[in-house]
Amino acid sequence: MKQNLLSLSVKELTRSSSFGKSIATTIMLVFLGLYFALVFFSLGVFVIPEALAKQFPNQELTSVLNRYLLIYFASDLLIRQFLQNLPTISFKPLSILNMKRRRIVTYLLNRSLLHFFNVLPFFLILPLFFRIVLPDHPGTGAIAWLVSIVLLVLSNHFLNTYLKWWINESSWGIYLFVSLFAGLYGVNYFGILSLTELFGAFLDFVIQNPTMVVALLVPPVLCYWLNYRYLKSNLYLNLVEKKAGDATIRDFSWLSELGDYGKFITLHVHMIWRNKRPRTQFLMTVLFLLYGFLIYKNGEKGIPEGILIVGGLIMTGMFTISLGQFFPAWHSSYYGMLMTQNFKMKQFLQAFYYMNVIVSFVYFVVTLLYGLIDIRIVYFNTALFFYHLGVNMNLIFYFGTFSKKSVDLGGSAMFNYQGMGATQWLIAFPLIVGPILVFYLFKWLTDATPALVMLGIIGLVGIVLQPQLFNYFEKAYNKQKHRLIRDYKNS
């Protein structure tokens, strides 16, 4: 039976309808995986050992490394929450076969171990093991350390899976998780309790007492059992496909009081909030508001201009870029029905535009607080805010007329290339790289300040011309209406 399940896994991959269709996407993912593997390997072989030796010349490097490993595993758990999928889809064809539930659950959990996030850490850990740990503690101590790291990787994998089950069932689970994560980070950062020191001391103790590695068997086994119990009791089709009636309904009826535009804004907001994929992408844009704490660091010459423009671009315009990339394909499942309604296409486009104006303005105001770090952040974010509204929004409308593939609203937002076509790949270049090129072109011709002013002026010109541009896009979308309906239905 195990061999049959393994054979089914291979056939599921090779016989998938998407296996041979997106060769370019597959090649890109392979190169992306090789890139991260090479980066991790380089960090483990060259960067980290040399950095630790230079920073802590009179300390045992293994002990220093053990303290920093907590940061790695915490970051790994956070990233897994957004990028790692749940092991659910594969059980659907198995649920109607004469197969015991426990065997299906065991198969799903064991198969989930074959994930890139479980392989990638070893490109970093193994070089560190041979470069740092083994020379400091030859023998059983080094082996105990390596086994401990393997068990911690497994713990992260199964803990992340169980947390995602819990978060998916709770409308406030993700907020509690992020708050708890931020709280623990604050406790360690402000020195209330040094969690990194405690974690490092425990790994040091394991190296000195290799038998204590047995204690690290408890977390992965416990998390595996929690996942096993949950899956075994909830292994039904609605674990993957929740009925519409089970969804949490939010009341946005007050938006309808804004007239025809309010009705369409309500449609866009409902689409985002009631569906997993757009809702997750929206919540990620909120998290990106904290991106400034990672990149805005004053050096000897202040924050580089490249960092300022990238930070402003991401934080003020990520909502527009993330949601606009799939416009109007977000509405593909009911686009045909939508086109039969008595309304003007201009109202539909204007509602999406005004929604982006409101959200981007809120993000812009929040990011002004970074001006306390460097006043130039205010100038860059202001220019980029106008550029997003005047240029990027119109680029989104333009590329939207070439949309071809429907979007599964219930799918995962991370590493999900369903609905990705040439349009989605092409639009990323002008939206992200465009303002950077414009800034550096004018900086080359003049200086940084005039370049920033020109960036804002270009955006303001687009905003002033917006009524005429709406008329143009209304005709373009009406002309492509039937093609869009046909392509969404056939994709």
Q: CA 127 to CA 133: how far, in whole Å?
A: 10
Burial class for 481, CB neighbours closer than 10 Å (0-12, 13-18, 19+):
middle
Return the pLDDT at 243.
Answer: 40
The phi and psi torsions of 274 (rounded to 5 degrees) equal -95, 0
Residue 388 and residue 316 in contact, taking contact as beta carbons nearer than 8 Å: yes
Could you list the pLDDT tens digit for every one of the 491 residues in the chain? 555 666 666 665 555 544 554 555 567 677 878 888 998 999 999 999 998 999 898 889 999 999 999 989 988 888 887 777 776 655 566 666 667 778 888 888 888 888 888 999 999 999 999 999 999 998 899 999 999 999 999 999 999 988 888 876 665 666 677 778 778 877 887 778 889 999 999 999 999 999 999 999 999 999 999 999 988 887 765 554 444 344 444 444 545 555 566 677 777 787 887 777 888 788 878 877 877 777 787 656 678 888 888 888 888 888 888 888 888 888 888 788 888 777 788 888 888 898 888 888 998 998 888 888 888 889 999 999 999 899 999 999 998 888 888 877 766 555 555 556 566 667 778 888 888 888 889 888 888 889 899 999 999 999 999 999 999 999 999 998 888 888 888 86
Return the pLDDT at 254.
Answer: 44
The phi and psi torsions of 35 (rounded to 5 degrees) equal -65, -50
Q: CA 144 to CA 208: how far, in whole Å?
A: 9
Q: Which of 296, 457, 317, 441 is nearest to 375 (CA)?
A: 296
Residue 356 and residue 389 in contact, taking contact as beta carbons nearer than 8 Å: yes
Q: CA 388 to CA 355: how far, in whole Å?
A: 13
Q: Which of 444, 439, 462, 286 is nearest to 376 (CA)?
A: 439
Joined tokens for residue 468:
């005429």
Q: CA 401 to CA 472: how far, in whole Å?
A: 12
Angstrom CA distances, 314 to 10, 302, 357, 432, 449, stand at 39, 20, 15, 8, 20
Residue 294 and residue 307 in contact, taking contact as beta carbons nearer than 8 Å: no
Q: CA 64 to CA 196: how far, in whole Å?
A: 10
Return the pLDDT at 302.
Answer: 75
Q: CA 143 to CA 129: how far, in whole Å?
A: 9
Residue 291 and residue 311 in contact, taking contact as beta carbons nearer than 8 Å: yes
Q: CA 338 to CA 466: how far, in whole Å?
A: 24
Q: Which residues contact 215 (CB under 8 A, 6 or more apart)?
A: none
CA angle, 437 as apex, 433 and 438 as ends, to 5°?
A: 120
Please report where in the chains the tokens 């929040």 appear, as a residue.
366
Q: Which residues contact 90 (CB under 8 A, 6 or more apart)?
A: 9, 12, 108, 111
Joined tokens for residue 232:
């075994």
Joined tokens for residue 103:
């065997």
Residue 105 and residue 229 in contact, taking contact as beta carbons nearer than 8 Å: no
Amino acid found at 265: I
Amino acid found at 476: A
Which pairs from 286-294 meet CB under 8 Å and 24+ separation?
Answer: 287/178, 288/314, 288/315, 288/318, 289/315, 289/363, 289/366, 289/367, 291/315, 292/367, 292/370, 292/373, 292/377
Residue 427 and residue 435 in contact, taking contact as beta carbons nearer than 8 Å: no
Q: pTM of the predicted model, to two decimals?
A: 0.59
Q: CA 375 to CA 369: how far, in whole Å?
A: 10
Return the pLDDT at 408.
Answer: 74
Q: CA 253 to CA 255: how far, in whole Å?
A: 5
Return the pLDDT at 454.
Answer: 92
Residue 256 and residue 126 in contact, taking contact as beta carbons nearer than 8 Å: no
CA angle, 197 as apex, 192 and 202 as ends, to 5°?
A: 130
Joined tokens for residue 251:
């009341």
Helices (H) and strands (E) in the chain — how many of each?
24, 0
Return the pLDDT at 69.
Answer: 93
Q: CA 135 to CA 141: how far, in whole Å?
A: 11
Burial class for 401, CB neighbours closer than 10 Å (0-12, 13-18, 19+):
middle
SS (H, E, C) 116-140: HHHHHHHHHHHHHHHHHHHHHCCCH
How many Cα atoms sit within 13 Å of 53 on the Cβ side? Answer: 11
Give the helix ranges, DSSP H, for 43-96: 48-55, 61-83
Please report where in the chains the tokens 């054979």 appear, as a residue.
7
Return the pLDDT at 28.
Answer: 67
Q: Which of 207, 221, 208 is nearest to 151 (CA)?
A: 221
Return the pLDDT at 268.
Answer: 77
